[in-house]
Structure 1
Amino acid sequence: MALLLGTSLAVAPHARAADTFLPISAPSTQSVLPGKIVYAQLTIPDLTQAKTFYGTLLGWTFKDIPVSRGRYAQAMAGGRNVAGFVEHPLPSDDEVRHQPLWLPFISATDPDAVVQTAKVWGGKILFKPHDIPGLGRETIIADPQGGVFAVIHSGSGDPVDSDTPTAQGEWIWSALLTDIPVNAAGFYQKLFGYEVQTSQDTSSPLRYLLESQGYARAIINPLPPRLPANAPARWMNFVQVDSVGATAEKVPQLGGKVLVEPHLDHNNCMIAIVADPAGAVFGIMEWHMPTVAGEAK
């Protein structure tokens, strides 16, 4: 699996006005669901190119955010704020190591407390807790195996859990790929209070499912065999699409690459792994609500 070997990160630029950034939840829910992945952010070298790619591929629309320096935009899917884009030049000395990275935002009641726990258990604090007007309080952490993620206490509350099927263009699933899954499961459990379930079938290694509030939030998988054993961990975020096959066909037409062709995963969901024109890797998934036998599909 052709995946990035490092990270390139930038926090959101400073806003000119306190109410500039779109909230994660609108209307406000004031609900905190620790452990739920509620947002994502990408630092890319060309915001215009990214808008064209993601807008055409996923149907995202964008709102440009006035900032004091640089360019920033937020992406909307079905009227919901799903992602932030930070335009920032990438270092040219090592293009592979500095490929753009989709950063998942994990909800927490107190990001400052999460930082202290992360330090105790071997995490590295990349950006100290800070307030982003309109979004909330956030921090960025690398886990002991190098997996990078953000922690946020949303100022508007977290999107509520629902059994309503995820719509085209919304994030639906996340997976952490790491060399020692059991250690990673313990680390994230200590930070977010996850219930950890094991998942294994005869054709795959042991996996760890992270659950909170009775919902599955993410899965921890071993690194693919073709990657070096000491490769850093990395998060893989999946977007719901109406057709994985049709979406994957569009990726090269828009300047991206299909890294893993459409196929059924171990849960019989159709998935593919793709990269945008700047090299940021993400998954696309076609998941449908299970139907009761005899019901119309």
Structure 2
Amino acid sequence: MTEFPEGAPCWADAMFKDVEGAKAFYGEVLGWTFGDAVSEFGNYTQAYSGGKAVAAVVPPMPGADEPASQWTLYFASPDVAATAEKIKAAGGAVLMEPMQVGTFGSMAIATEPTGAVFGVWQPGDHKGFEKVGEVGSYCWAELATREPSKADAFLTKVFPYSSQEMETGGDPAAAEMDYKAFSLAGAENPVLGRMKTGADLEPQTPSHIRVYFSVDDCDEAVAKAKKLGGEVHGGPMDSPFGRFAALTDQQGAAFMVIDTARAVGEMPKMK
């Protein structure tokens, strides 16, 4: 099973009031199957693609205020308590202090200074994604924020990232683009993107991390999502990285789908 280096996205889960509805939706759109709910840990239920763990769904805790459904991306840490202290020192906030989850590992939930929620995972028996970048699994994420300088400073203080900025190449249409890719030493590819948002983001929408799941046909995935009560917020559109779309499921959780085999255009250069 893959061991994820510090700072690498390693897991994703989401809380749903209607877990069975979520299972039906993602089973159809992403082809997931689901394991048994683990009652000891709040009926946490893992999702599988081709028999490999790719995500999880869970109902709200009994008696707790029901939060809005959303996907949470977790970053690997060798010491979740130490990472929580780094988060606080770098201007973030820890929403859920480090806690042990049986023999599976330890976790914390936090926000970076511009408001995006994320998780930290110190693995035990559960290492994280059992496949990445394949159809039906997580393949990319980007932090969408109106305050990129704050987010950039935070990310490089908390995790061992280096960063590169995307070149616009003099393209007037891309002149306002502000996008960075964050990498880890020894990794072949970047592990996280950071995108400056503006007019394309509704004023009430806070900073957030966009989680991308790989599909074999973006348009088909979009059609299935719409049929099941999901909404389309962007796309489908072509890019050098693949054909992608921004969606919310029928309970309001936002996510992205991308067909990486359908890439159009020249890859942007980084500086």
Q: Structure 2 regions of 5+ residues with no counterpart?
A: 264-271
Q: Structure 1 regions of 5+ residues with no counterpart?
A: 1-24, 291-297
Partner of 2:269: none
Given the alignment of the two structures, is residue 62 of structure 1 paired with residue 38 of structure 2, yes or no? no
Secondary structure, aligned partner of 1:71: coil
- Quick one: percent identity of the two aligned structures? 27
Q: Which amino acid in the other structure matches residue 109 of structure 1?
A: P
Partner of 1:109: 78
RMSD: 2.7
Q: Which amino acid in the other structure matches residue 45 of structure 1?
A: K
Distance in 1 (CA, whole Å) between partners of 2:130 and 2:14 is: 24
Partner of 1:195: 162
Q: Which amino acid in the other structure matches residue 197 of structure 1?
A: Q
Partner of 1:17: none
Secondary structure, aligned partner of 1:216: coil
**Offset at residue 232 of structure 1 (A):** 2.4
Partner of 1:15: none
Q: Which amino acid in the other structure matches residue 247 of structure 1?
A: A
Contact 1:44 1:89 in 2 (8 A): no
Moved more, 220-229 or 230-239: 220-229
Contact 2:100 2:107 in 1 (8 A): yes
Partner of 1:51: 23
Q: Which amino acid in the other structure matches residue 60 of structure 2?
A: H
Given the alignment of the two structures, is residue 144 of structure 1 paired with residue 113 of structure 2, yes or no? yes
Distance in 2 (CA, whole Å) between partners of 1:69 and 1:135 is: 11
Given the alignment of the two structures, is residue 132 of structure 1 paired with residue 104 of structure 2, yes or no? no
Moved more, 171-180 or 221-230: 221-230
**Offset at residue 88 of structure 1 (A):** 1.7
Contact 2:214 2:258 in 1 (8 A): yes
Distance in 2 (CA, whole Å) between partners of 1:35 and 1:289 is: 28
Distance in 1 (CA, whole Å) between partners of 2:72 and 2:116 is: 10
**Offset at residue 79 of structure 1 (A):** 2.1
Secondary structure, aligned partner of 2:191: strand
Partner of 1:22: none
Provide closer, same or farther for how the CA distance between residues 32 and 78 of structure 1 changes in structure 2, counting only shifts above 3 A: same
Aligned residues: 256
Secondary structure, aligned partner of 2:10: strand
Partner of 1:176: 143
Moved more, 68-77 or 42-51: 68-77
Superposed CA deviations along residues 173-208 of structure 1, whole A, max 9, x for unmatched, are: 001100111221121111111111111323331211
Partner of 2:57: 85
Q: Which amino acid in the other structure matches residue 245 of structure 2?
A: A
Partner of 1:280: 253
Q: Which amino acid in the other structure matches residue 120 of structure 2?
A: V
Distance in 2 (CA, whole Å) between partners of 1:169 and 1:248 is: 14
Distance in 1 (CA, whole Å) between partners of 2:246 and 2:262 is: 22
Secondary structure, aligned partner of 2:20: helix
Secondary structure, aligned partner of 1:38: strand
**Offset at residue 229 of structure 1 (A):** 6.1
Given the alignment of the two structures, is residue 261 of structure 1 paired with residue 235 of structure 2, yes or no? yes
Q: Which amino acid in the other structure matches residue 238 of structure 2?
A: L
Alignment partner for residue 221 of structure 1, among 195, 200, 215?
A: 195
Q: Which TM-score applies when normalising by structure 1? A: 0.78
Distance in 1 (CA, whole Å) between partners of 2:219 and 2:4 is: 36
Counterparts in 2 of 1:26-45, with a 5 A limit? 29=2, 31-45=3-17
Distance in 1 (CA, whole Å) between partners of 2:86 and 2:42 is: 33
**Offset at residue 227 of structure 1 (A):** 3.1
Q: Which amino acid in the other structure matches residue 191 of structure 2?
A: R
Contact 2:179 2:195 in 1 (8 A): yes
Distance in 1 (CA, whole Å) between partners of 2:157 and 2:27 is: 37
Moved more, 110-119 or 195-204: 195-204
Secondary structure, aligned partner of 1:64: coil
Superposed CA deviations along residues 58-106 of structure 1, whole A, max 9, x for unmatched, are: 1101012231475321101122211121112799x9x9xx531100011
Secondary structure, aligned partner of 1:65: coil
Distance in 1 (CA, whole Å) between partners of 2:244 and 2:31 is: 18
Superposed CA deviations along residues 114-162 of structure 1, whole A, max 9, x for unmatched, are: 1111111111110011111243111111111001000111114756999
Distance in 2 (CA, whole Å) between partners of 1:89 and 1:133 is: 17
Provide closer, same or farther for how the CA distance between residues 49 and 269 of structure 1 changes in structure 2, counting only shifts above 3 A: same
